[in-house]
Every structure is written in structure tokens, then in C-alpha cells.
Structure 1
Amino acid sequence: MKNLDSLDWIVIGVYFLVLIAVAVWVIMQKQKNTEDYFLAGRNIGWFVVGASIFASNIGSEHVVGLAGAGAGDKMPMLIYELHAWLVLMLGWVFLPFYARSGVFTMPEFLEKRFNAKARWILSVFSLVAYILTKVSVTIYAGGVVVSSLLGINFWVGALSTVVLTGIYTVLGGMRAVVYTETLQTIVLVLGAGTLTFLGLQAVGGWTELKSTVGAEYFNMWRPASDPDFPWPSLFFTSTIVGIWYWCTDQYIVQRVLTAKSIKEGRRGTIWGGFLKLMPVFLFLIPGVVALALKQRGEIHWDSPDQAFPVLMSNLLPSGMRGLVAAGLLAALMSSLASVFNSCSTLFTVDIYKKLKPETPEKDLLRIGRIATFIVVVLGIFWIPIMANISGVLYEYLQKVQSYISPPIAAVFLLGIFYKRINSRGALATLIVGFAIGALRMVLELAKDSLAEGSIFHQLGSMNFLTFGAYFFFICVIIAIVASLTAPEASAEKLEGLTFSTLTPEQKNANKNSYNWIDIISSLVVLAIVIYVMVSFSG
């Protein structure tokens, strides 16, 4: 790898100066209350909402891991990047219910739909899961990227990015997060887009790329008998994970709740859907290009996860390397800022405010900042443990999410589409579901010490995608059966919270919140998703 030169460092320096200027401008505008701090006063336009959704999703582990999937014959992982249609589902299906209920968080919505216990369970589980997965993985992967990219010590790279991101997140709240993420999206798309263009030029174009690695390499659909990525399980489980992540997870939904109206929020998800299609071309294709150039002996790397930084350092001219390096730093910082703010919101609104409902807004703002700071510190302490995890981070995250998402996706989907589901069904699904997911993780880690052929060994060694599909169906059955053992919730409690209990006024308001432009734009996103799925079928 070539080291960054003076012009590269100047570009990185300019990026940070602009980032600091944006953060300072936002921090100067004092937050008056918790709605200002956690949801940017619910006054954000569609362009910023969509850019924030995209930037929150793309982290350093995502950039490096997706390029690694392209370089390491894991093309089926591409399906997680085609979830643009699920981003649309957030805007068209879920957002109107969230916005009408006036909630700050997803656990708060569960309380309105079911009861306070459901809110507590999801709040505590989400916080623990964020710190153990999102915060720690993002910090660890970011430290690896920063240290290899800038040629500095791992801990210096990890801690400096965490501290800088933590400062503007603590002081500026959600408004600082969404505006800096808009800047970071622009830098990331420009930088990675240039690398894709130059990479395809270097390899001799798309046709030459396919002939070098082989046309069959691009097939993301493996046979149903494939031990790693059977296509029916891949499609179904990735969809369940996608519904959880894009439509019910605080980390993403909080961005849409900042919108000034349902119309702006929905348009933000359509714009976010367009942007979500870009990682295929910005990160996955450069990974395949790096593989092709390695096969031709033009570049060398030891691990597929090194494909992106090696390609960048070898192909990009001085200055552009700095821009892409800034883009990778942007990806790291935007993901960190998002998860810091989401954790802070969950703790302050769903836990502290529930325990002390009389707390003044001014004190809640202070608690929110303290909570953000504590999450930052916990994430740093978790880095040494994360450093011992081997394997591809991107695949590791998809596995963990396959065990977390089924109970939550089942409760939200049934909660909105089926009014007969009640609090008993929701609680049973969440409690039993989280226990099953935890059991699967333990058995997977201990499968080598279990008696081969035993039920526990089979459960621990079953393909994670197949397990996720069965797991979701079990969660749906638990929710329905448990709900039927208790009375149905009253019509007054459910009004506006399920499709069948919408009032004529609510239905009319929803119709007035979109026009033909929104419909056509959404159909274009769907058409691109289908086109890519067909194109990558061998």
C-alpha cells in the first residue's frame, strides 16, 4: 500500500475543518427541549433525512466488509444491499403509524400498541445489543481502517475518531448528527464512486472484469442445497432482518421521525432507498475489481477485507486518495454518531423518564448528554474484546442480526397488520424469542463440544439463514397462540395503531401525504432492485 502524501493530508484536513464548522454551527443553535435534542425539533427536510438514513447504515465495517465479500466469493451477501425496497416500506407502511402516535422511540410505540412491559423489554434489550454489536464493532472496524489508512497506531486511530464524534454528538444532539451525515454522504459517494470508475478502467471495463473472474462468480443465487447460502433461506431471512433493521430499529427510524411531516419523511425514505442501491457499485464492485487485478498479478493483498484500501492506494491519484480516506472516516463517524444518539434517546426517554416522569426538560437534556458520554466510554472498553473476534465482520453481523430480528419483526408486523395480537402475545414473543436467539448463539459457539447428532448439536450447526426462517415462523405462532388466550384489546386503545382501526380522517390524511411523483420514484427504486437481482444471477 502507498502512503498518503501531503496533498492527501490537506484534503483530509479540509474535510475535518468543514465537518467541525457544520457541527459548531449546529451546536450554536441551543436545544430548547428533548424533541430538539433527540429529533432535531421534527423539522428536517427529505434530502437530509434520506442522506442521514444512508450515512447511518454505511459504516467502516460495511465498506471494508462488503468489498471483502466481493473479493472473497461471498456474492450472496449482496442481497443485504438490495433492501432499498424495505426502506420504501418504512416510508409507505410504518412511518404513518409512528408519526401519528407522536413517539420518540420504537419501544414507546410498543407501549402505545401493547403495554409498558413490552416497552421495557425492547428498551433494555436494544441498549445492550447496541453496545455489544453496533458500538463496539463500528469502533473496532473503524480503528483498523484508520490505522491502516493513515499509518497510525490502532488505539490512536480508534480513540481519536470516537472522541471527536462523541464531542459533537453530545453537544449538538440529533441536529448535529443529521447535518454532518449529509456532508459525510456526499464525501463518501464522491470518493468511492471515483474509485469504482477508475477500477473498472484499470481492469478494462465490465466485460473484461466478468471474463477475468468468470461470469459464474457474479451469481448471488446459490442452489437450495448450498450449505452456506441456500437461496430460499437467504431471501426470506434477509427480508426479516431487513424489516427489523429498516422499519423497526431505533437506529434507522429515528432519522425519519425528525422529518417535518409524513410527506417529507416518506420522501426521505425514497431518497434513502435510491442511495441504498449505491453500495453495490461503490463497494462491492471495487472488491471484485481488486480480485481481478490480483489474479492478473497487478496488486496483492492477503485478506479479502484488505481489498478496498489496497485498491484505493494503488489506483487513486494524489488528493483523491485523501478524499476516499476522508469518505471512509466519514462512514465511521456517521455510524458512530447515529448509534451514540440512538442509545442516548433510548436510555433517556424509555428508561430514565419512565422511572422519573416529573423530570424537567432541562434535566432530561443533561441526562441525554451524560448517557451519550457513558455509551462512548463503554464502547471503548469493549474494543479489546472485539479485537479477539476473528472472521469477516460483515458476515458476523448478519449472523447476529438473524438471531435478534425475528421476534421484534414478528411483533411489529403482526401489531400493525393484525389487531387481534395483544400484549400477552407480544410479551410471550419477545421473551421466548430473545431466549431462543441467545440459546442459538451459545450452541453455535459450543457446537464442537456437543454430541454429534443430538438436538442441541443440530440446533447449533444448522445454517444460520435456515434457522432464521424457522425462528420467525415460531415467533409468529407464539404471538398468535398467546394472544388468543387473552381478550382482544379495546377499539379505543387500538384506534390509528393498526390498519383495520384507522379512522376515515386518518385514511384521508394518509392519501393526501403523497402524489404521483412519490409513486413513480418508488417504482423506479423497485425496478432497479429487480434489475440488479436478475443481473447477478449467473
Structure 2
Amino acid sequence: MKTLDTLDWICIGLYFLVLAGVAVWIIRKKHNNTEDYFLAGRNIGWFVVGTSIFASNIGSEHVVGLAGAGAGDKLPMLIYEIQAWVVLMLGWVFLPFYARSGVFTMPEFLEKRFDSRSRWVLSIFSIIAYVLTKISVTIYAGGIVVSALLGIDFWTGALSTVILTGLYTVAGGMRAVVYTEAVQAVVLVVGAAVLTFIGLNQVGGWESMKTTLTPEYLDMWRSASDPDFPWPTLLITSTIVGIWYWCTDQYIVQRTLTARNIQEGRRGTIFGALLKLLPVFLFLIPGVIALTLKMRGELHWDSPDEAFPVLMSNLLPSGLRGLVAAGLLAALMSSLASVFNSCSTLFTVDIYKKLRPNTPEKKLVRTGQLATVIVVIIGIIWIPIMANISGVLYEYLQKVQSYISPPITAVFLLGIFHKRINAHGAFVTLITGFVVGALRIVLELIKDDLDPNGMLFALGDMNFLTFGAWFFLFCIILAIVVSLITNTPSEEKVKNLTFGTITEEEKQKNKSSYNWVDVVVSILIIAIVIGVMILFNGK
């Protein structure tokens, strides 16, 4: 690893000056009420919504972990990064229902569609899930990046970045988050694109790289009998996780709820989907480049998760190295800022305000700030445990998400597409699903101590993709059966909140919120996704 020089530090310093300027400008604006603090006053345009969606998603776990997947023979994980079509589902299918309901949070939507029990369950579970899948992973990956770049120990790097990000997130709220993310997305894309271009040039181009690795390595579609990534359940489970993450998770959906209207929100998701196509080229391919150079004896790293920072420090010239380093810091900070704000929104709006409905707006804002600090501390404590579940960071992330997403995806999909699903069906599915998901995580951690011939070992040792697919089917059946043997939901619970109950007025309003350009760009994005799938078929 080469250390950063003076020109690199100047680039990083300029990045922080711009970021600080944006943050101070936003913080000086008033945010004394919850709508302004948590949803930026619902007045954001499509460009900022789209860049915020992208920057929230692309954290240091992608920069470190996705490159690690490319460098560590886990190319099928690429399927999670070509889910731009699922991002389109958020804008075209889900967002109109969320916007019509006027909600702040996803648990609040479940209360309007079902009842308060589902809201409570999803609120508490979402905060736990953020600790397991977002905060701890982002801090861990950030620690790796910052310590590698700056030559300091892991914990100093992780904690200093957390504190720095926490300061402007707590002070400026959602408005500070989305506008700083717009800056960070630009820095991140430019920096990583430069590294990909120089890296491909260094290995002699795509064909030369394929010759070194063999075509089979660049095949994301393994056989149905593959022990790690069987293609049928890879396709099914990645879609289940994708719908949960992109269409029902507070972390992402909150960005679209900041839009000034449905049209801006939908266009934000279309722009976000377009940006979502970039990680394949910005992060996964640099990991493959790093592996190629290692196989040729031109580069050395011990863990696949080190591939991106090592490639960056060795290939890039002075100044450019600083730009990419700033991009890495941007990725880390944007993800942390997003999850901090989402956690405080969930706790304040869905838990604290429900318990104390007459709390003044200013106190609600302060409560959200305090909640952020507590969740961060818990996330830091979880990091050592997280390291035991999977050797590659990105794989850990997808494993845990495969265990927690099926019940939530099932409840939201059925709730919107099937008006007969009722509050009992939703509640039983969420509770049962979370118990089963938690059991799977525990069994995977302790499976070496279980009887290899027992059912518990089989459940803990089952391929995570296969488990996710069967688990989702179980949740769907459970929700339908429980709903059918209990009462039909009232008209108040389904009107305008499910397909088939939307009024003509709302249908016309929705039709007027898009034009032919929105449709054509959406079709183009789907075509590019299919093209990437064909590109990585090993032929």
C-alpha cells in the first residue's frame, strides 16, 4: 500500500471543505418541525432524490465488499447490483400508494393498511435490522478503508468517521443528508470510474483479463446444483431481497417521500435506477482487475476485502489517489448519514410519538437525535460478532438480508396486490417470520456444535439462497391462510391502498404524473440490465 502524499491530502481537504459548506448552509435553515427534519419539508426535486437513493445504497460495504466479491470468486453476487428494474418498481408500483397515504414511514403505512400491531413489529424489527445489516457493516467497511488509506488502526478510523458523519446528520436532519449525498455521489462516481479505466488499461483490456481468469470465472450463472450459488434460487431470493430493500425499506423509500410530488419522486427513482447500473463497472470490475494483477504477480493483498484500496493506492497517480480516497470516504459517510436519519425517524415517529402523542415538535426532533447516538453505539458493539458469520463482507450482508426480508416482502406485496389480506394475516406472518429468521442466524453461528444428522443442523447449514426462497413461499402461504380463516378487512383499510380499490380520480391523477420520456427511459434501463446479465454469462 502506498501512502497518500501532499497532493492527495489537498484533494481530500477540498472535498471536506465543499461538504462542510453544504452542511453549514443546510443546518442554518430551520428544522423545528418533524416534516422538515425527517422529510426535508417534502420539497426535494428528482435529481437530488435520485442521487440520494444512489448514495444511500452505495456505501463502503459496496466499495470494499463488492470489489471483494469480484476478487474472491463470488461473481454471482453481482445479481444484487443489477436490480435497477426493482428500483423502477418503487416509483411505478409502490410510491403512488405511499404518497396517497401521506405517511412518514413504512411501519406507518402498515398501520393504515392493517393495524397498529404490524406497525409496532416492523418499527422495532427495522431498527434491529439496521444494526445487523447497515450500521455495523458500514462502520466495519469504513474502518478497513480509512485505516488502509490513512495508515491508522481500524477502530480509530471507524470511530472518527462515525463521529464526523453523526455531527452533520444530527444537526441538519434529512435535508443535510440528501444534499450532502448529492455531492458525495458525484465524487464517488468520478473517482471509481477513473480507477476502473486506469485498471482496465493496466491489465490490457477486457479480453486480456478474460484470458488470465478463464471465461468460467466471469460467469454469474452457476448450475442449479452449485453448492454456493444455484442460479434458480439466486434469482428468486435476490428478487425477494431487492423488493424488500428498494420498495419497502425506510432507508430507501424515505428518499422518495421527500419529493415535492409523485412525478418528482418517480423520476427520482428512474434516475436512481440509472445510477444503480454503475456499481458493476465502478466496484465489481476493479475487484476482478485486482485479482487479475495478483494472479500475474503484479499486486498483492491478503483478503479479498482489501482488493479495492490496494488497487487504488498502487495504480493511481498522486492527486487522483486523493480523489478516489475522497470518493471512498463519501461512500462511507453517505451510507452512515442515511441510516442514522432513518433510525431516528423510525424511533421518533413510530415508537416515541405513538407512546407520547402530545409531545411538542422540537422535543420530537431532539428525541430523534438522541436515538441516533444510541443505535450507533449498538452497531459498534455488534461488529466483532458480525465477523464470525461470513468471510466476505458483501456475502455476510446478503445472507442476513435473505433471512429478514421474506416476511416483510410477503406482507407488503400481498397488502398492495390482494385486498383480502387482513391485519391478522400480516401480524402473524411478521412475527413468525422474524422468529424463523433469527433462528436461522443463530443456527448458522452454532452449526458446528450441532448433530450433523439432525434437523437443526440441516436448517442452519442449508444454502442461504435456497433457504430464502422456501422461507418466502412459507410466508406467502401463511399470510393467505390466516387471512382467509379470519375476518374480511374493512373498506377503510383497503380503499386507495390496494389495486382494485383505487378511485377513478386517483387513477387519473397518477396517469398525469408521468410522460413518454419516463416510460422510454425505464424500458432502456431494463434493456441494459438484460445486457449485463448476458455479458457475465461466461461465454
Verify same fold: TM over 0.5: yes
Distance 1:383 1:428 in 2: 31
- Work out whether 1:305 is the aligned partner of 2:305: yes
- Work out whether 1:82 is the aligned partner of 2:82: yes
Distance 1:455 1:150 in 2: 48
**Cα deviation code 1:292-338 (max 9, x no counterpart):** 11122111112211111111111101000001011000000001000
Distance 1:135 1:338 in 2: 10
The corresponding residue for 1:497 is 497
- AA of the residue aligned to 1:260: R
CA contact (8 A) 1:63 1:328 kept: yes
The corresponding residue for 1:284 is 284
The corresponding residue for 2:328 is 328
SS in 1 for 2:66: helix
SS in 2 for 1:330: helix
CA contact (8 A) 2:273 2:525 kept: yes
CA contact (8 A) 2:133 2:401 kept: no
The corresponding residue for 1:392 is 392
Alpha carbons of structure 1 residues 396 and 386: separation in structure 2 relative to 1, 3 Å: closer
- What is the deviation of 1:137? 1.6
- What is the deviation of 1:153? 2.3
Which residues of 2 match residues 429-440 of structure 1 at below 5 A? 429-440=429-440
The corresponding residue for 1:526 is 526
Distance 1:464 1:381 in 2: 25
The corresponding residue for 1:228 is 228
The corresponding residue for 2:157 is 157
The corresponding residue for 2:176 is 176
**Cα deviation code 1:450-487 (max 9, x no counterpart):** 22222222111111100100000000000000001111
SS in 2 for 1:501: coil
CA contact (8 A) 1:118 1:426 kept: yes
- Work out whether 1:118 is the aligned partner of 2:118: yes
- What is the deviation of 1:166? 0.4
- What is the deviation of 1:373? 2.5
- Work out whether 1:365 is the aligned partner of 2:365: yes
What count of residue pairs does the alignment treat as equivalent? 538
- AA of the residue aligned to 2:488: E
- AA of the residue aligned to 2:343: C
Distance 1:380 1:284 in 2: 27
- AA of the residue aligned to 1:498: T
CA contact (8 A) 2:389 2:444 kept: no
Distance 1:402 1:236 in 2: 11
- AA of the residue aligned to 1:411: V
- AA of the residue aligned to 1:135: I
The corresponding residue for 1:409 is 409
Distance 1:65 1:193 in 2: 17
Distance 1:267 1:59 in 2: 22
Which residues of 2 match residues 91-490 of structure 1 at below 5 A? 91-386=91-386, 391-490=391-490
CA contact (8 A) 2:388 2:445 kept: no
Distance 2:5 2:441 in 1: 45
Distance 1:268 1:199 in 2: 31
- What is the deviation of 1:442? 1.7
CA contact (8 A) 2:233 2:469 kept: yes
- What is the deviation of 1:215? 1.6
Distance 2:37 2:56 in 1: 17
CA contact (8 A) 2:84 2:273 kept: yes
Unmatched 5+ residue regions in structure 2?
none
- What is the deviation of 1:444? 1.7
Alpha carbons of structure 1 residues 383 and 444: separation in structure 2 relative to 1, 3 Å: closer
CA contact (8 A) 2:107 2:122 kept: yes
Alpha carbons of structure 1 residues 400 and 178: separation in structure 2 relative to 1, 3 Å: same
Unmatched 5+ residue regions in structure 1?
none
**Cα deviation code 1:150-207 (max 9, x no counterpart):** 1112222112111110010001000000000010000000000000000011111111
Distance 1:283 1:37 in 2: 33
CA contact (8 A) 2:389 2:445 kept: no
CA contact (8 A) 1:209 1:292 kept: yes
- What is the deviation of 1:381? 3.9
Distance 2:54 2:324 in 1: 17
The corresponding residue for 1:17 is 17
Tell me whether 322-331 or 378-387 shows the greater mean CA deviation.
378-387
SS in 1 for 2:500: helix
% identity of equivalent residues: 75
TM-score, scaled relative to structure 2: 0.98
- What is the deviation of 1:72? 1.1
CA contact (8 A) 2:22 2:180 kept: yes
The corresponding residue for 1:69 is 69
CA contact (8 A) 1:140 1:387 kept: no
Tell me whether 470-479 or 137-146 shows the greater mean CA deviation.
137-146
- What is the deviation of 1:211? 1.3
SS in 2 for 1:453: coil
- What is the deviation of 1:525? 0.5
- AA of the residue aligned to 1:268: G
Distance 1:379 1:220 in 2: 32
Distance 2:29 2:358 in 1: 26
Tell me whether 362-371 or 142-151 shows the greater mean CA deviation.
362-371
Distance 1:357 1:250 in 2: 21
Alpha carbons of structure 1 residues 180 and 536: separation in structure 2 relative to 1, 3 Å: same
Distance 1:448 1:128 in 2: 26
**Cα deviation code 1:387-425 (max 9, x no counterpart):** 666611110110000000000000000000000000010
SS in 2 for 1:93: helix
**Cα deviation code 1:9-60 (max 9, x no counterpart):** 1100110111111000000001131000000000001111010111111111
Distance 1:140 1:535 in 2: 32
Alpha carbons of structure 1 residues 261 and 6: separation in structure 2 relative to 1, 3 Å: same
SS in 2 for 1:2: coil
- What is the deviation of 1:386? 4.5
Alpha carbons of structure 1 residues 383 and 459: separation in structure 2 relative to 1, 3 Å: closer
Distance 1:456 1:98 in 2: 40
CA contact (8 A) 2:69 2:75 kept: yes
- AA of the residue aligned to 1:240: I
CA contact (8 A) 1:140 1:386 kept: no
- What is the deviation of 1:436? 1.0
Tell me whether 188-197 or 358-367 shows the greater mean CA deviation.
358-367
SS in 2 for 1:499: coil
**Cα deviation code 1:365-386 (max 9, x no counterpart):** 1212222222233334444544
Tell me whether 384-393 or 44-53 shows the greater mean CA deviation.
384-393
Distance 1:141 1:69 in 2: 14
- What is the deviation of 1:355? 0.2
- What is the deviation of 1:493? 2.7
Distance 1:96 1:130 in 2: 25
Alpha carbons of structure 1 residues 67 and 22: separation in structure 2 relative to 1, 3 Å: same
Distance 1:91 1:471 in 2: 27
- AA of the residue aligned to 2:510: N
- AA of the residue aligned to 2:324: V
TM-score, scaled relative to structure 1: 0.98
CA contact (8 A) 2:390 2:396 kept: no
Distance 1:474 1:303 in 2: 37
Distance 2:384 2:490 in 1: 50
